[in-house]
Amino acid sequence: MSSKESNETNKSRRQFLGAAAATATMTVAPGVTVIGLAQAKPVDQAVSSKNRWGLLIDSNKCASGCDACVTACNTENGIEEIHGPETDPQWIRKVTLKHKASGRETSLPLMCQHCEHPPCVDVCPTGASFRREDGIVLVDRHTCIGCRYCMMACPYKARSFVHETLTQQVEYMPRGKGCVESCTLCVHRVDAGSGDPACVEACNKENHNAMMFGDLNDKYSDINQELRAYKTRELRADLNLNTGVRYRGI
Amino acid sequence: MNKLLVILASMAVLLIGSTASAGSPKPLPNLDNVQGDKCVAPKEVIRVEHMEYIMHQRDETMHRGIRTSKHSLKGCINCHIVKGDDGKPVNFMDDRHFCNSCHEYAAVQMDCFQCHASTPTPGPVAAGK
Amino acid sequence: MSKVNYTSLEANSKGFYGLMGVLAAVILVALGAVYYMEHNGHWVTGMNNQIVWGLPHVFAIFLIVAASGALNVASIGTVFGKAIYKPLGRLSSLLALALLTGGLLVLVLDLGRPDRLIVAMTYYNFKSIFAWNIFLYTGFFGIVAVYIWFMMERKMNKYYKVAGYAAFVWRLILTTGTGSIFGFLVARSAYDAAIMAPLFIALSFSLGMACFILFLMATYKWSEKELGDAILRRLKNVLGIFVAAAFYFVLAYHLTNLYATEHHGFEAFLLTGPSGHTPLFWVGQILIGTVAPLLIFYTKMGESRSAIAVGSALVIIGGFAQFTTIIIGGQAYPMPIFPDYEVISSSFGDAAKYYAYTPSLPEIVLGIGGVAIAILIFVFGCAVLRFLPDSLADKVADPHYKAESSA
């Protein structure tokens, strides 16, 4: 991808996003003044616990058979197919479920749930697995020794190990052999204030609008409004991890 | 026994000879195609302090989301271009790469470019082993 | 009981160099395997994103747990003041250090980035049980080294009891730490159980003792020193108790799981399921590792030396099977992410009934390399310092020795 091309796609992405966010705001929460898209934080300012980034996923809207979010994530983060699904990293995956009692089928995307009390962070011997002030759970790949204890501890199997030498990384998402990695909520976008994570953007582009990204702490944000208005669910709520990713429709 | 000594001695001479010819004269970083007209710190300072800057920046970016460009690795790479025979910026596999110019001489081992781009962005990183 | 003289192993025989040569060769091949795995990345192993800890971890945990237990004999002598075990204190401490080194090396060499070992030594997250273990292991080396020194150095002899107590307490904590690596993983049905810690302690007793008996018999046979029946019978009786104790915790673990509905899935998977872990459990762990040795030790068979050796070997095989079912079997069973739902499909294997794992050759070689390192250290230690009582014949070792009766 040449620089010009990527700039252009970026631009069109943003324009599109603006529109999508506006419509979402109007239909989801009429009458409520919404500050719109997240304001970009100045680059020299540290993230703070005033924000808590999260996702809301509506499995009713998630189309079975559609994996636009997965493809978008892979493209965005330079994740390629190498030796097959058993060893290739998957930061986000589509899961199809059947309700045991009713037999109803649903599908949804599953990724790092960005817990407030992440088990992966507790077990990491070097502190490479950590939670940023703004709630994003990351792996500091400079101190990760590749012990995989976090993968043993994660209740969502959200983490992957890089099983081979990589050569096709994208410049804003350095990745490499021997470290564990997982969804970053597209942290490079969040810090740049450039809109939604790639998965959310792709879902909106497909007009499914099953994923919503935002600041859970901001009571004027769309995601906060939705959480107020509807019953949502945490996966493995029994573990009391207070996840940053919530689900509707399951 | 004497024979062995002779062999060892000649091997040592060969070894010293070959490293000396590869290592001398002391390589100077190639600044022919560097962007901008001055570095992020005076030359004397950046030469000795750059690892501190980069490592500090690394933690600031990673843990606190601070994304200033002054001391960022991306910043260094974007300015310090060394062109290869084909006119394209060389990557870290090439001895002439700016960051290699002293590191090979100073025997500094860095794993950074297993993950990080070593050529100006954007585009895929040509990483290797 | 007469005074014990200690000697070192004759190090100038052909047999000695032959053994060292073979061990070194095995270790070299293992290092080659490590290079191969690290150079290519872990995709060349049987491990993947579902089974993240594989055979190397089985070897590593086995050796680490056995190391802590190998110190038992020294503890029984020092802490519980049983005279017959005292001459064995040095040897038992040496074996503990050797096994621990072998286990840790396997663990470290399987890391995704073993080159960053220095990071593991300089960055700590004190909430991590792994991080505690790093301290527990290094502390164990220090304490046991001091313990050996105090036992060997006449001037320090009066303090060796203190060191012995410290080593005893330390290694209980150490094995608690090792067991807790699994015990605190709330996410997984197989592991979310505090009983893992006592289970590991009981296992360390039995595996450590079994290793010790085998090493002792081999060393004395090979160096043509006398090893009396009294000591061996004592050791095998104790080993039998440890095997039974470990089985008790296994029983308790599975019974609690069987009581709680949320764990039924995992229990069914392990006890009756379709995977290789079911035979590993029933045949490997229960039959070979528990029932057979108990039969051997507590019947007439237990009087024969070769039967004691076989029984100890069976305990080791059973322990290996047990760690395989704990470490790999525990991961093989899918996690209950959506309890009310059945997973129909997923690209990440969520719909699988269980995850299969086949170890690759390099993993096996790495594990065996760890065992070779342990043996090498043990033999080397015996050769350079005086670890071996000159004779363990009944009349020397047994405090209750009477001219014609034994034990």
Q: How far apart are CA C15 and CA A43, in angstroms?
A: 69
Q: Which long-range contacts (CB under 8 A, 24 or more apart) does B59-63 make?
A: B60/A46, B62/A138, B62/A140, B62/A142, B63/A130, B63/A132, B63/A140
C121 interface with A at CB cutoff 8 Å: no
Q: From the CA of A94, how many Å to the nearest CA of chain C?
A: 6
For C262, name the nearest residue in chain A, comparing CA atoms only.
A238
8 A C-beta contact, residue A213 and residue A88: no
Quote the DSSP letter at residue A233. Answer: B
Neighbours of C139 (CB within 10 A): 16
- Residue-level pLDDT at A10: 43
Q: Which whole-number Å values give the CA distances from B52 to A145, B77, C116, C119, in the listed order? A: 22, 16, 19, 17
Segments making up each domain of chain A, as ranges: 39-248
Strands, sheet with A245-248, edge to edge from the N-terminal-most edge strand:
A211-215, A53-58, A245-248
What mean pLDDT is predicted for residues C382-407? 77
CB C219 within 8 A of CB C9: yes
Distance CA C148, CA C169 (A): 16
Residue span of the structural domain in which B40 resides: 29-129
Residue C115 has pLDDT above 70, yes or no: yes
Nearest Cα of chain A lies from the Cα of B104 at a distance, in angstroms, of 22
Q: Which residue of B has its CA nearest to A132?
A: B63
Residue B73 lies in a domain: yes
Is the residue at B96 inside a domain?
yes
Q: Where are the domains of chain C?
A: 6-391
Q: Pick the range with the lowest mean pLDDT from A33-37, A61-65, A167-171, C334-338.
A: A33-37
Q: Which residue does chain B place closest to A49, by CA atoms?
A: B64
Record the tokens describing residue A163, joined without a space. Answer: 């099983």
Q: Could you count the other beta carbons within 10 Å of the beta carbon of residue C34?
A: 21
- Please count the structural domains in chain B: 1
Q: Which amino acid is at C319?
A: G
Q: pLDDT at position C403, please? A: 56
Which residue of chain C has the CA closest to A123?
A: C128
Q: Which CATH architecture has domain C6-391?
A: Up-down Bundle (1.20)
CB C200 within 8 A of CB C61: no
Give all chains having 3 or more CB-to-CB distances under 8 Å with chain C: A
Per-residue 3-state assignment (H helix, E strand, C coil) for C105-131: HHHHHCCCCHHHHHHHHHCCCCCCHHH
- Whether C348 has its CB under 8 Å from any CB of chain A: the answer is yes
Identity of the residue numbered B85: D
Predicted confidence at residue A213, as pLDDT, reads: 97
Chain B residues interacting with chain A (CB cutoff of 8 angstroms): 58, 60, 62-69, 74, 111, 114-117, 121-129
User: A39-248 adopts what CATH topology?
Assistant: Alpha-Beta Plaits (3.30.70)
Tell me which amino acid residue C194 is: A
The angle that helices C89-109 and C160-183 make with each other, rounded to 10 degrees, is 30
Q: How close C126 gets to chain A, by Cα (Å)?
A: 8
DSSP count for chain B of H helices, then E strands: 4, 0
CB contact under 8 A, A148 and C52: yes
**Binary contact (A132, B64; C-beta < 8 A):** yes
Tell me: pLDDT of A177 over 60. Answer: yes
> Quick check: C48 pLDDT over 80?
yes
**pLDDT exceeds 90 at position C402:** no
ipTM greater than 0.90, yes or no?
yes
Quick check: A3 and B121 CB within 8 A?
yes
Model pLDDT for residues C196-213, shown as the tens digit of each residue: 999 999 999 999 999 999
Q: Does residue A164 belong to the interface with chain C, where contact is any CB pair within 8 Å?
A: yes
Q: Pick the residue of A131, A137, A161 with the most C CBs within 10 A to test the interface with C by mutation.
A: A161
Distance from CA of A153 to the nearest CA of C (A): 5
Q: What are C101's two structure tokens?
A: 């080194």
Whether residue B18 is contained in a domain is answered as: no
**Residue written as token pair 């890089």:** A162
Q: C192: pLDDT confidence band, cut at 50, 70 and 90?
A: confident
Of A142, A105, A114, A110, the residue nearest A126 (C-alpha): A142
Interface contact C343-A97, CB threshold 8 A: yes
> Phi/psi of residue C67, each to 5°?
-60, -50
The model carries a pTM of 0.89
From chain B, pick out residues whose CB is under 8 angstroms from the CB of A46. 60, 64-66
Q: How far is C38 from chain A (nearest CA, A)?
A: 8
Q: How far is A115 from chain C (nearest CA, A)?
A: 13
- What are the residue ranges in chain B where pLDDT is below 50? 1-8, 10-11, 13-24, 123-129
The verdict on a CB contact (< 8 Å) between A145 and C346 is no
* Beta strands A92-99; C6-7: pairing state: unpaired
Closest residue in A to B70 (Cα–Cα): A44
- Ramachandran area for residue A209 (φ above 0: left; ψ -120 to 50: alpha; else beta): left
CA-based nearest residue to C318, from C288, C349, C345, C351: C288
Given a cut of 80, whether residue C399 has pLDDT beyond it is no
> How far is the C-alpha of A36 from the C-alpha of A21, rounded, in Å?
7
Whether the CA torsion C219, C222, C225, C226 is positive or negative: it is: positive
User: Which band of pLDDT confidence, cut at 50, 70 and 90, is reported for residue C3?
Assistant: confident
% of chain A beyond a pLDDT of 90? 78
The per-residue pLDDT of chain B, averaged, comes to 78
Angle at CA of residue A144, ends A140 and A146, nearest 5°: 140
Mean pLDDT computed over C63-72: 96
Contact B63 A170 (CB under 8 A): no
Can you give the pLDDT at residue B94? 87
Which has the higher per-residue pLDDT, C244 or B33?
A: C244
**A-to-B residue pairs, Cβ atoms closer than 8 angstroms:** 81
Q: Please report the residues numbered 226 through 255 in chain C whose beta carbons come closer than 8 angstroms to any beta carbon of chain A.
A: none
> What is the token pair recorded at C6?
């200690």
A2 pLDDT above the threshold of 70 = no
Identify the CA nearest to A86 among candidates C39, C334, C358, C347.
Answer: C347
Q: Token pair for residue C83?
A: 């005279």
Q: What is the mean pLDDT of residues A126-132?
A: 97
Distance between CA atoms of C203 and C210, rounded to whole angstroms?
10
CB C275 within 8 A of CB C330: no
